[in-house]
A and B are shown apart, each in its own frame.
Chain A
Amino acid sequence: QKEVEQNSGPLSVPEGAIASLNCTYSDRGSQSFFWYRQYSGKSPELIMFIYSNGDKEDGRFTAQLNKASQYVSLLIRDSQPSDSATYLCAVRRYSSASKIIFGSGTRLSIRP
């Protein structure tokens, strides 16, 4: 079982709709959770992080965390073509001296 699992996609969403990206993790000791966006040929850029159960909103993005279900998600409202990218879910465990473990990413495509 992979430590961080994501559906590879591609996930195709019409422009203006809500894109929902999901991630599960295996280590219950995980404490911090991150969503990164990566455009083709570029390095990842941080979109959001979350560490408490519930929702965290930042502009068009909402991160949701459910530690009991070991599940974290990212919602993108009013999807734009520029949101087309690969989204990486990442998890940090305190016991690993701040090492972040990445999922394989979900490719999101926003169709005009």
Chain B
Amino acid sequence: GAVVSQHPSRVICKSGTSVKIECRSLDFQATTMFWYRQFPKQSLMLMATSNEGSKATYEQGVEKDKFLINHASLTLSTLTVTSAHPEDSSFYICSARDRLAGPIGEQYFGPGTRLTVT
């Protein structure tokens, strides 16, 4: 089955530093990847949609200069949280859609990255 990996699984960083999270589709090509954030006991909130080779589309209220997304290849997307603050502490999950999937095609989720900013 389709596998999506994320690295790192957990990261602790100091306030003001930047953190990069990688999302890879291991056995399929993903033209579109999605980045979600989930706070405790809340649902997934879509942050942005990234398409390979083009700029990401950010959801309303998400600062594109703070959450930098790069989708340089069909198997890799990265999310960089710049100048992280404690309120950025959350569970970040990426999801990828198979290039060969039709309009009904499901998204495959990565295992998530737990970010803690101290």
Contact = CB atoms under 8 A, between A and B. Distances in A.
B19 interface: no
A14 interface: no
A38 to B, nearest CB: 9
B18 to A, nearest CB: 23
Given A49-B104, A102-B44, A97 B109 contact: no
Interface residues of A, number: 23
Interface residues of B, number: 22
Nearest to B97: A98
A34 B106 contact: yes
A82 B97 CA distance: 28
Nearest to B6: A43
B43 A105 contact: yes
A103 B44 CA distance: 8
A42 B103 contact: no
B32 A45 contact: no
A101 B114 CA distance: 22
Interface in B85-110: 91, 93, 95, 97, 103-104, 106-110
A88 B44 contact: yes
Given A44-B44, A97-B49, A105-B43, A32 B104 contact: yes
Interface of A: 31-32, 34, 36, 41-46, 49, 51, 88, 94, 97-105
